[in-house]
Amino acid sequence: MAKSSFPSNVHVLKPRAMSLSDRLDAFLEKHALTPNDTPVRCDPTRPKARGINAISCASCGQAEYLTRDYCRCGHYLRGQLEDEFLAWEDRIAEEHEQLAETIAHKLRRLRYLNLLSMPFMVLPLIYLAFLSEGLSLFPMFWMAVGVAIMGACALAEQHLQKPIEASQCFLNTYTFETFLEQRIVSREVIDQ
């Protein structure tokens, strides 16, 4: 499951566009309007820990620019970032598997429910073939119920499969860039 190969574009990291909130923070800082809850920057030459271009060094704990291969303490940041990427890959693959398992379980239960429609389809046919002497609406009504159950099950199945299709699509199309973007998003979610 664990991949050891790397996308070739990993080594051409470019500085990422600053988001509006980053620019607003920079403006507030410049004009000494920084709100109190903004994290204090220990070293003005280093980026802010939460910035889109920052990585938190695992060795000294300080924020460093994402584009630098080495932290100012000598720690190999590119290696750290690659490790984080591999861990992230493993995590999304695992999450996908868990989702697939949950949905497969629901689908199995749905198929049992679908079996319920069988008597509604089969019994009227038996009735029509062997027991009925005249034309009756009763078997038709039963079959309509059976068809309704089957239709509802087919719709529910389609609905259940949507998240797994979306997840599979994400797994097929993610890049190293996706990882860099998600790093920021997941950190914001954790902070809240």
The residues of the shown chain that bind Zn ion, judged by CB under 5 A, are: 57, 59-60, 71, 73, 75
Of 19 and 59, which CB lies nearer to Zn ion in the complex structure? Answer: 59
Amino acid at 145: V
CB of 183 to Zn ion, least distance (A): 18
User: How far apart are the C-alpha atoms of 56 and 48, rounded to whole Å?
Assistant: 9
Where are the alpha helices (H) located in 53-137, listed in sequence order? Answer: 77-115, 117-126
Q: Are 121 and 153 in contact (CB under 8 A)?
A: no
Of 54 and 103, which CB lies nearer to Zn ion in the complex structure? Answer: 54
Of 76 and 174, which CB lies nearer to Zn ion in the complex structure? Answer: 76
CB of 185 to Zn ion, least distance (A): 24
CB of 64 to Zn ion, least distance (A): 6
Of 77 and 143, which CB lies nearer to Zn ion in the complex structure? Answer: 77
Residues sharing a CB contact under 8 Å with residue 21, sequence separation 6 or more, in sequence order: none
User: How far apart are the C-alpha atoms of 77 and 55, rounded to whole Å?
Assistant: 8
CB of 70 to Zn ion, least distance (A): 8
CA distances from 129 to 120, 123, 139, 168 (A): 15, 10, 11, 47
